[in-house]
Every structure is written in C-alpha cells, then in structure tokens.
Chain A
Amino acid sequence: MTPSKKAGVGSPRSGAKTSKTKKKNGAGKNASKVILAATDEILAHYPLEEASLIMVLQELNDQLNWLPPKALERVAKKLNVPFGKVQGVATFYRAFSLKPKGKKTVKVCTGTACHVRGASMLVDELKRSLEVEPGEGISEDGNFSLETVNCVGACAMAPVAMIGDHYYASMTPGNIAKMLKKEKPE
C-alpha cells in the first residue's frame, strides 16, 4: 500500500534538483563555519582519494544529520572527485540525506515481516498525523521526520517503529499518537 514515490519517472532536467541551493538559513555564516570545520575534521582521518568518498559522506551524515551542499563541495575538492560524482553518490545511496531533518526521525520498518503484519497502515497514519512524506519534509513543529527502512532485523516484534535507539514493538495505527506524544522533544 505504500505508494510509489514517483509522480512521473525521472525528473525534469531543468536543474531544479541541483544542490547549490541559494537558501540561507538564519544561522548564516556561523552554521557554515561549523559545517566546514566538521567536514575538514572528518576528511583528516581518510586518505584523500575517491575510495574514501562513501565513508567520508557517511561520517558527515552521522554527524550533521544531513549533507549540506557546502560540505559536499569541500569533500569534492579535497578528495579530487568531480562535484557531479559526489552529488551522484550522495543521491544514489539511501544512507544520505540531502535535506535537513527534524529533531527526531520516526523510522517505520517496512520489511516483509512488518509488511504482512500491517506496516503500511503505520506509514499511512504517520503521514497523516505528521503531514510529511517518508524521506521528505519535517513536521510543522520541526520535531519529526519520517522514514521507512527496509528491515531493522527485529522481525519477531513486527510491525516495528523506531525513534532513536528505541524500538516500538507490535505497533498499531491506534497507538501512534501515544508514541509521538511520548517522544515529543522537551
């Protein structure tokens, strides 16, 4: 029941998806300084070659929760990989997010075991209550993002939702509100 993400195959090639977004957020220069410092710190641990690319991006994503364009540019330059390739890799792998995320990410396992036990109903309900699509957007209060994961390997407790390290086992659409209330930051 999970709808396919795509409205049409492929996307307009008008360059709408290029990473060099002009959007500046409030924190401005300071934020980009933090980002670049973090990037350089990570890059220092790896040989500066193409083979390090994925590992560097992973660490970056772990630390910043997403891959800001500034960081990608720096990585491209330092590893001497064309920016296009970096962007290609960053958009190819699931582990990377090219958009900022909410304070917490609700992950719904959509592995087969969870699916046959009703995971898609959980996703639908979360989409409704958070008003976000899986992998896209942040709830209006800025608290939550939604993601689906293929299998978290906790099939015995299907269907499973995860927030942070915490597993919510045997979930039903009915107790999603409770879970979100409990996990609300502050």
Chain B
Amino acid sequence: MSKTKTSKTVHLTIDGQNVEAPKGAMILDVTPGLGVEIPSLCAHPGLEPFGACRLCVVEIQKPGWDDWYKQLVTSCLFQVEEGLKVWTNSDEVRQNRKVVLDLLMARVPASDVIRDLGNQYGVTKTSYAEVDTEDTCIMCDICVRACHAIGRDAIASMSRGPDKYVDVPDKDACIGCLVCANLCPTNAIPFTANDNGKRRIWGKEFDLVTDERSGEVLGTTEYIEHVRKRAEDKGLLCPEDMKHESARVKRYGYAQKLSHVADVEEPIEEVK
C-alpha cells in the first residue's frame, strides 16, 4: 500500500493483460481499447457511477488472497488497485449477467436492446414471469441523473422497489432538450424531435427555434433560455460530457440515435 500511495498509477491484469491505470479509476473505465467487452446499461462517463444494472460485474482477486478465492464486483464501482487481477468473462461472471438479463427480459419484454443482449448470453426466453407491458424502462436512472447534470431536475424517480418508476411531476421544469431520450439505453422515452417546428416529449409540446441563416434547428425556446442562463450563472454553455457520449454508447451498440443535444434535427427513431 505504501508504495502506491505516492505514485499516480497502478498496475493490474485484466483477463491476463497487463494494464497500467490511473489511481482512483474504476475498472470499467480502463477497459476501452483492451479488446474486452463489459456490457453495461446504467454507466455513463459524464455521470457519477451508479451501479444499478449490475451487468458490468467482473471477478476480482486481490494480492494475498487464496488462489481459489475470487469476488464478484461491479466494475463501474470498483477502483483499480495495485496487483489486482480481473476476469471479465469467467463462467461465474457470465452466469450472473445471464440471470440479470433474464430478469430484465421478464421486466421489459418489448425491449430489443435487452433481448439482443440476452441472446448474447444465451437467454432466448425468460425463465420468469413476463410483465405485460410495452414499456422498456429498466429504471437505470440515467435520465434522472442527466437531467440533474443539465441543471433541470425535471425527471425524478418515484416510489420504490418494484413499484419504482420515472416521471416528470413538474412539467414546467422540462425544457425539451431530449438529453434523457437520447441517453436512454433502452429507448424508453417516447418523443417527437421535430414535427413542423414542434417538439413533443413527456406529454408536453415545445416550439423549436431555427437558425435563420443556416436553417439549423437550435433547440426549444426553453432550452435556449436555459443554456443562456446557465452560461450567465456558471459560465457553462452545455454539459461537455454530453458530446463524447455518442462514441461510447455507439460502441456498445445499445442505441444509434445518440448525439449531442443540439445536433438533433431529424426525428431519428421515434418511439410511439
């Protein structure tokens, strides 16, 4: 421990590969580029680690542990350590991902994203009681957290346990920025991006503002007002993190529609 205290990087192995990683980083964050694939639905580099979906589980072993002893941890929430060994695709890992996906397939039978992932882990039909719903929300709270990051807090999760759901109780707080819908891993938030200058989401209709010269859609009136105020208050124009979102999410293949908020011009994939 004392050795690593001063140094800024640690050394670990991931599926046998030697990896040098910055101290304090989570396992999931250091895997890109290693050719290992850890599925995850609720993680997002622009947001605090959350640990809701439990898909990104991996097995770890710390130095000094008995050879046979490994522990299952969520890679989005586990910090890298000196000498750590990580297995991202062991039988135990696959088995638990399989059960999680099995459960999700029962919860959101209408979701293609979940079904495709489930198929990858050998679940073609759920072992559990299917919920009769067209809804595809898996309560990962990405929308809630993103809305908070943007500074609106319009979306909140309600109730608890299996009754948990996501809602916008105060419609006035929603600015129609579409970040929630864009980041949703299971395309669960229905919206219309541009219908003759109108945008609809969360049961609310917005007027879109178009750049007069280029004809580019800039966003809703409320969104532009919010960005302007935020720039005044905090010197922030928009959450930078939202930009490099698309690359990451595309890589996992969960959603093709993601892009920077202001880029949304065309109704990419409208849900209902």
Name A's B-contacting residues (CB within 8 A): 4-6, 8-15, 17-20, 76, 82-85, 87-88, 91-92
Contact = CB atoms under 8 A, between A and B. Distances in A.
B207 interface: no
Contacts, number: 83
Nearest to A73: B170
Contacts of A20: 169-170
Contacts of A76: 170
Contacts of A13: 135, 137, 165-167, 188
Contact of A9 (B162, B168, B169): B162
B152 to A, nearest CB: 8
Interface in B119-167: 131-133, 135, 137, 139, 152-160, 162-167
B202 A15 contact: yes
A83 B174 CA distance: 12
A12 B135 contact: yes
Given A8-B131, A9-B107, A14 B203 contact: yes
B268 interface: no
Chain B contact-residue range equals: 20 to 34
B103 to A, nearest CB: 10
B153 A82 contact: yes
Given A10-B135, A12-B135, A83 B165 contact: no
Interface in B157-187: 157-160, 162-170, 173
Contact of B156 (A6, A10, A88): A88
B238 to A, nearest CB: 19
Contact of A11 (B163, B173, B203): B163
Contacts of A15: 167-168, 202-203
A11 B154 CA distance: 18
Q: Which of A15, A20, A84, A85 is most buried by chain B, counting CB atoms within 10 A of its CB?
A: A84
